[in-house]
Amino acid sequence: MKEQYDVIIIGGGPAGLNAAMILGRSRRKVLLFDSGKPRNRWATSMNGFLSSDGVNPRDFIKKGREELVKYGVQIIDRAVKTATYSKGQYVVDDEDKNVYHSRKMLLATGLRDALPEVEGIEELYGKSVHHCPYCDGWENRDKAIAVYGKDRSGIGQALAMKNWSDDVTLYTDGTQKLNNKDMELLNLNGVKVCTEAIVRLEGDDGMLQRIVLQSGESKQQGALFFSGETSQQSDIGRQLGCEFTGKGVIKTRRLQQANIPGLYVAGDAARDMQLVIVAAAEGAKAGVAINMELQQEDRVKP
């Protein structure tokens, strides 16, 4: 006979783990899938999370998983390949072709960042190249900060980085789309601009030291921030027929509900406020909402 779960959670990051804790504490039968590829797996510290500021993300996940043991949450370290919904039932196939069934589902699969196509960036990513100033701006305060953004895409982040350093340079990597108003705004706010093409980033032990330009000139820089494109880490949302925003995240209502009955989405996959603490909070909120929905369905009515 098929094994029936109350909830299947896809994604073992902060959102998925916190939802699993709430649901486990509510005595629900929970199955959590973790592919082991969190968005921040290159980072050495997780910041801006009260009581866990500066903790290594891997240690944070490890502790979270250990805390779920006493609540009977089952964790499977595999990716989910397919998921379908029909008449109040979710059916999930993992990468080993095992099949699982549940009444509700939570997607906490996160996003994937597209790194700028610049030589040397991969060795520096997560240590001195970042995408989130709220996560890593403090650690790079008062450094010579580079902001990468082709055409006009880096203007907003370059201006924002002035919050953390007076020495900010916007690199457009060979593109010339900044207009006179853009240049006036950047100049008035003390942001330097370099439109020359970048050849490579150079550093030592993961720490950026210089940006080499096409002319052969090198610019001394201590960190680089970029605001690139993101995409869903998993296509399960599309398989199920979720509605998406223009920014590529899944549309959710107030309590993290998607447009499919019994489907909830939490974390970066569903929101533009992409912080670990926000993802964890959304997971908790979704966990409560799922449990309340199950309570309503199971309640004997006169």
Strand, helix or coil at 292? helix
Residues 94-122 pLDDT 10s: 999 999 999 999 999 988 888 999 999 99
Residues 121-176 pLDDT 10s: 999 999 999 999 999 999 999 999 999 999 999 999 999 999 999 999 999 999 99
Read off the pTM.
0.92
Contact 269, 237 (CB under 8 A): yes
pLDDT band at 299 (very low <50, low <70, confident <90, very high): very high
Q: How far apart are CA 168 and CA 153, in angstroms?
A: 15
From the number of C-beta atoms within 10 Å of its C-beta (0-12, 13-18, 19+), residue 216 rates as exposed
Per-residue tokens: 98: 């095992």
- For residue 70, give the DSSP letter: G
The mean pLDDT value for 7-29 works out to 97
Q: How far apart are CA 93 and CA 79, in angstroms?
A: 9
13: pLDDT strictly greater than 90: yes
